[in-house]
Amino acid sequence: MTESTFIHTQQELEQLVELQEHERQWFTQATAEALPFMASRYYASLIDREDPGDPIRAQIVPRLEECSEKMGETKDPQMEYRYSPHPALVHRYYSRAALIVTGTCTSYCRHCFRRRLTGREKTPISKEQVETVSRYLADHQEVKELLITGGDPLTLSDSALDSLISRIREKRRDLILRICTRAVVTYPMRVTDSLIGILKKHSTAPMYLMTQFNHPREITKESTQAVARFVDNGFPAMNQSVLLRGVNDDAQVLSDLCNKLVAIRVKPYYLFNGDMVSGTGHLRLPLSEAIQLEQELRGRLSGLAMPVVAIDLPHGGGKVPIGAPYYRGEQERGQHLFVTVDGNEIVYTDP
């Protein structure tokens, strides 16, 4: 990856798209605490220049609304710091932990929930930090899965990733690894045969690709090939989308996305309503709209294509599904009332 692969400035961006006033204002009013602007030229090239409401544009072009904080928003709504036994490790759930290996990405998404770190802590995790985390994982055998995340771990070089995973595997050969990356979407050319070869070296336990496609137009020839490199070499692929206003807040768009993901061998895993992160309120949907979309999707998608619609609760509350209450409770002893996705009431009887 070279600097010419990415755009960093307003001038470079305006060579690709004509900015609207509220987008130009961000570049003059954003403070040092703001999530920086940066995007790969590949991903920016997917923007429809003629459409000011383009869904790719909405994900990477900053706008003035990011400079204000709505009620309840914080820089760390999941309170990851509370669950960090080490600065680079988050152990929020009993059986899994997240290792934050960098603050750098191939494009900075405007809905990023780690914007307190993203674009700021660009120095990759040190060898000393990896050793400390590896010892922690060795002492905590209840951790069965480790999310290698960031930022984006695929911004690390092949050799750095090799060294990182080698140290983890020395202590925990049994640990299931999740490679959490958006590079297959925003910079798919990062996924090379060399990268896959390095990951395969460390397959003493399963390794999963966890990615984030948010719109059907992100499924291109290039991103499909990047996914295929993983899947063809034995790495199952799962997707975690974020519900975003002006991007995918439409049942037809989401149905197309989920069906196309299944077609390229990616399982739609989660569909998250936006976190209460400072500066993202203009992208977040009211919960009632998210619940309505969940109901519509259940009537359109197969079980294979249907993601879990969920929310990551603020104050470190963790993930919970937000689907409509299809189960309405026990009406009489052993008689349980359900409402179908079509709105019909049906009674289920216990044996």
Is 258 an active-site residue? no
Catalytic residue among 43, 76, 105, 182: 105
Instruction: Of 83, 117, 102, give the one whose Cα is nearest residue 181.
Output: 102
Other C-beta atoms within 10 Å of 54: how many? 19
Catalytic residue among 24, 41, 75, 96: 96
Which residue is listed with tokens 């050793």? Answer: 131
Catalytic residue among 75, 92, 144, 267: 92
Is 174 an active-site residue? no
Is 112 an active-site residue? yes
Catalytic residue among 217, 245, 298, 319: 319
Is 319 an active-site residue? yes
Catalytic residue among 114, 169, 172, 178: 114
Cβ burial of 49 (10 Å; 0-12, 13-18, 19+) is: exposed
Is 265 an active-site residue? no
Which residue is listed with tokens 């690390």? Answer: 156
Catalytic residue among 54, 108, 109, 208: 109
- Could you write out the DSSP letters of every residue in 93-160? ETTEEEEE--S--SS--TT-TTTTTTTT--SPPPHHHHHHHHHHHHH-TT--EEEEESS-GGGS-HHH
Catalytic residue among 67, 75, 83, 93: 93
Is 114 an active-site residue? yes
Catalytic residue among 42, 112, 178, 180: 112
Is 109 an active-site residue? yes
Is 187 an active-site residue? no
Is 139 an active-site residue? no
Is 93 an active-site residue? yes
State how far the Cα of 208 lies from the Cα of 177, in Å rounded to an integer.
6
Indicate which residues carry an active-site annotation: 92-93, 96, 105, 109, 112, 114, 275, 312, 319
